[in-house]
Structure 1
């Protein structure tokens, strides 16, 4: 598939999800991020996405990335405001949890599951 066809297919897929509602857009984004991480052979990030997707309070949020920093938003149209701490997969296999993409370090963990548990512990009530 050429790049133009690929882009058109992705845009059409997003349009269908938007017609169905925000929950469908969120589901599509979770799938797309995981596919990108698999294609990039970024196993630590795949583990992070899988752990986050397994957590119901995070699974309903729109996941987004910037330079492989995983953030979560309630807004599917303009996901710039994070609803939860962000997670950075470190080169050494550890994970750093930050108050937001550019915020203070909340903690560091040895596993994706521990990182997501730390994110959930710092979610607003």
Structure 2
């Protein structure tokens, strides 16, 4: 059996409510986890938002849409460098699906380490 990745451990800790896990809106976390493409990313709940990253250490990729909200109503925002809102007044499931719909085609599982990936760094 393969060892759990950092992203998998992070998701599991949040879903199980472990004391050492970051806290976020449970309904939003569960809805995002239900989406396989989001489940492969590194989740980072903070200040009412659930962000997703292509990597597991600071500095973060910060190039993916993210969700702000609770069990009743969510907003999906475009990546920080783009800005703007992609959708509002959404259920957590609708918000998670909208994030997936706006993921870049080359967005795969989170890699362990800081951003940018080693092979993309200059010299």
TM-score > 0.5 by shorter chain: yes
Distance, in Å, in 2 between the alignment partners of 1:83 and 1:71 is 10
Does structure 2 retain, via aligned residues, the 8 Å contact 1:73–1:79? Answer: no
- Consecutive unaligned residues of structure 2, counting only runs of 5 or more, are 106-123
Deviation at 1:109, TM superposition (A): 3.3
In structure 1, the residue matched to 2:53 is: 73
Of structures 1 and 2, the one scoring higher in RCO (CA 8 A, sep 6+) is 2
**Mapping 1:75-90, distance limit 5 Å:** 75-78=55-58, 80-89=60-69
TM-score where L is the length of structure 2: 0.67
Q: Aligned with 1:26: secondary structure?
A: helix
Deviates more, 1:52-61 or 1:101-110: 101-110
Does structure 2 retain, via aligned residues, the 8 Å contact 1:71–1:100? Answer: no
Q: Does 1:28 align with 2:9?
A: yes
In structure 2, the residue matched to 1:113 is: 93
Bigger-Rg structure (1/2): 1
C-alpha change, 1:108 and 1:87, in structure 2 (3 Å) is same
**Mapping 1:86-101, distance limit 5 Å:** 86-89=66-69, 93-100=72-79
In structure 1, the residue matched to 2:31 is: 51
TM-score where L is the length of structure 1: 0.66
Deviation at 1:108, TM superposition (A): 0.8
Does structure 2 retain, via aligned residues, the 8 Å contact 1:64–1:79? Answer: no
Count matched residues: 98
Distance, in Å, in 2 between the alignment partners of 1:117 and 1:89 is 14
RMSD: 2.6
